[in-house]
Chain A
Amino acid sequence: MKLAAIQPRTTTRHDVVASLRQLGLDPLTSIVASASRLYRMPQEDLDQLKTALIADSFRHHYEKNAFYRRACIEKNVHPDQITQLADLTRIPLVPIAKFKSASSHELLSKPLSAIEHEMRSTGTSGVPSISRRCSDTVDAAVIAAYAMFREFLGISKGAGLYVCPSTEEIPEMGMIKALNMLSGLLDTHRYMVKQERFDPAQALAQLHAWENQFTRYIIGPPFLIYRLLAFIKQSGQRIKLDRGSKVITLGGWKRFSGQKISRDEFDLMCGDYLGVETGAVRDIYALVESNVMAIEDQHRVKHVSPYVHFTVRDTNDLSREVPAGTPGVLGILDPLSLATPGMILTEDIVTLLPGASPSGRSGQRMEYIARAPSAREFGCCAVNLERKMDEQPAGAVCPVAN
């Protein structure tokens, strides 16, 4: 079903940001709360609004962050030069490795005393990537996350089977933190991984216990949900979830062994062994260093947060942007990041999907392809978690390891 478009208005998007400020409102929190409306704006209007937010953020970091300002001066880029969408490619990007370096304090555009929250993702290298957020960023990011969850998942009740550790066990892990936020929209939930141990039989029993009481959702990294699916397959205990049930995944499709879980096979198994409808599997792309989320719609298309801009760069010349449909290294321009520059060069290879969205939404749509060959991390925290779980004594591990 196509979404109804919002008619363009005459006020420029730059005016909108200034107008909100004059009203005493915070432009960021006001705009991110309207994710649904943003996706229904004409593309040109959305691009202008996004550019205004990013230009504002760029000016903030240029003025407040000496390390980042030096990088901008070296590249001869000044905030006054960023006025249109095409100018965004000029904004210098911070390599994501900086977030795990011993000099990560240089990333701060606000004093440490303004930092409310530190989040980490410890990938396969074992070195944590630390992302620091001030209160203003936390305000905007929380609202943004819930607005995106509502837009794409439509959850306001039900039961969540979390096939992952809880935030109590791993409070700083970004992936778990983001997934845990979803529980605020549910009536009940249960975490099924405790001290790196997962018993799929218990998970299945919990799903049965909720039958005819709650719409059931399964949430977690693909490799763990895959273990549950494999257990159901081998034990012959198929289950039929509910009409609105969804399987929500985050954390990537690569295992620490290097094996990639086939998305198509995963979706088929969800249909066969969980009885969910086509389009009920929703994968999310996110990273701890940014506030962006790209959440899948029912067509398996990932939609980038509408106020964040993805720029895909030529792997051989990172200063050059490649067109939609061409794989390249992902650069993110995230205006929500105020404590540290939200202008990041990731180690992910992605492609932006060309053409119109089947769902009718404006904005960018992406497809994740792989880690860059030069990436220092083989995998994110989910891969690390899987490795630790497989190191557990044999008797304590899920009997279906693959």
Chain B
Amino acid sequence: MFNEIIVRHFSNPEFAAELDDATASIELGNPVCGDRISVQLKITHGHVQKARYQAWGCATSLAAGNAFCAHIDDQPLAAAIATSGAAIDSMLGELEPSQHHCLEMLEALFAELHKRAQ
């Protein structure tokens, strides 16, 4: 059910934490299944200093939170929002049909980050 990418992110949630000095936040939820991801960001001078998350729901949604933060942490904001659709689609590896809602949540996270950057 879970590919190696999801297992790695779920089992080693390196970026699961709360940020005391966050400058921005993103909250996402799936109303059907109840999965929720909360991302806190510290962005200064166009640079994502820190990206941390908390997630509630299925293992894939927890992995999505970690994968998102791992990708943008300590990165220029411009580079983060320039992440291609193809790159986003591959961040969680090959998914089962029941897991695809988590890819949609991941895409929504990037979309929200884009809005924050504008």
Do A and B interact? yes
Q: Which residue on B lies nearest to A117, using beta carbons?
A: B1
Contact assessment for B11 and A172 in the assembled complex, using a CB-CB cutoff below 8 Å: no
Cross-chain contact B16 with A132 (CB below 8 angstroms): no
B18 to chain A, nearest CB (A): 10
Q: How far apart are the CA atoms of A17 and B13 in the complex, in Å?
A: 38
Contact B58 A127 (CB under 8 A): no
CA distance A117 to B96 in the complex (A): 12
Looking at the assembled complex, report how far the CB atom of B47 sits from the nearest CB atom of chain A, in whole angstroms: 27
CB atoms of B7 and A113 under 8 A apart: yes
Contact B13 A128 (CB under 8 A): no
> Across the interface, do A112 and B54 meet the contact criterion of CB distance under 8 Å?
no
Q: Which residues of B contact A120 (CB under 8 A)?
A: 33-34, 57-58
A116 to B2, CA, bound (A): 8
Residues of chain B contacted by A128 (CB below 8 angstroms): 33-35, 56-58
Nearest CB in chain A: distance from B53 CB, A = 9
Identify which of A102, A115, A126, A127 contacts B59 (C-beta below 8 A). Answer: A115
By a CB distance below 8 angstroms, the chain B residues around A172 are 33, 58, 98
Task: List residues 5-20 of chain A with CB under 8 A from any CB of chain B.
Answer: none
CB contacts (< 8 Å) of B54 on chain A: these are 102
Contact with B along A116-137 (1 / 0, CB 8 A): 1110101000111010100000
* Binary A-proximity of B27-71 (CB < 8 A = 1, otherwise 0): 001001111100000000000000000111111001000000000
CB distance from B72 to the nearest CB of A (A): 19
Q: What string of 1s and 0s marks CB contacts (under 8 Å) between A78-116 and chain B?
A: 000000000000000000000011100100000111011
Beta-carbon contact of A102 and B55 below 8 Å:
yes
Whether B62 pairs with A127 at a CB distance below 8 angstroms is no
Cα distance A126–B32 when bound, in Å?
Answer: 10
A130 to B11, CA, bound (A): 16
Size bin of chain B's contact surface: 20 to 34
Across the interface, name the chain A residue whose C-beta is closest to B30. A128
Flag if A105 contacts B11 (CB, 8 Å): yes
B10 touches A112 (CB 8 A): yes
Q: A171 contacts the other chain (Cβ, under 8 Å)?
A: yes
CB distance from A195 to the nearest CB of B (A): 11
| A126 to B33 Cα, complex, angstroms | 9
Q: Considering only CB atoms, which chain B residue lies closest to A100 in the complex?
A: B56
Bound-state Cα–Cα, A122 to B32, Å: 10
Given contact pairs A102-B55, A102-B56, A115 touches B1 in the complex (Cβ within 8 A): yes
Name the residue of chain B whose CB is nearest to the CB of A128.
B34
A119 to nearest B CB, angstroms?
10
The answer to whether A171 and B56 touch across the interface, beta carbons within 8 angstroms, is no
B59 near A122: Cβ-Cβ < 8 Å: no
What's the Cα separation between A111 and B2 when bound, in Å?
10
A113's closest neighbor in chain B, by CB? B7
Q: Which residues of A contact B (CB under 8 A)?
A: 100-102, 105, 111-113, 115-118, 120, 122, 126-128, 130, 132, 170-172
* Additional 16 contacts, C-beta under 8 A, given A105-B10, A171-B98: A102-B56, A105-B13, A111-B7, A111-B11, A112-B2, A113-B7, A115-B59, A118-B1, A118-B59, A127-B34, A127-B36, A127-B56, A128-B34, A130-B57, A172-B33, A172-B98
Pairs A–B under 8 Å by Cβ, sample size 22: A102-B16, A102-B56, A105-B11, A105-B13, A105-B59, A105-B62, A111-B7, A112-B2, A112-B10, A112-B11, A116-B1, A117-B1, A122-B34, A126-B34, A128-B35, A128-B58, A130-B58, A170-B32, A171-B98, A172-B33, A172-B58, A172-B98
Sorted nearest first, the 9 A-B pairs with minimum C-beta distance are A122-B34, A128-B34, A112-B7, A102-B54, A118-B58, A112-B2, A127-B56, A128-B57, A113-B7
Q: Chain B: residues with CB nearer than 8 A to chain A? A: 1-2, 6-7, 10-11, 13, 16, 29, 32-36, 54-59, 62, 98
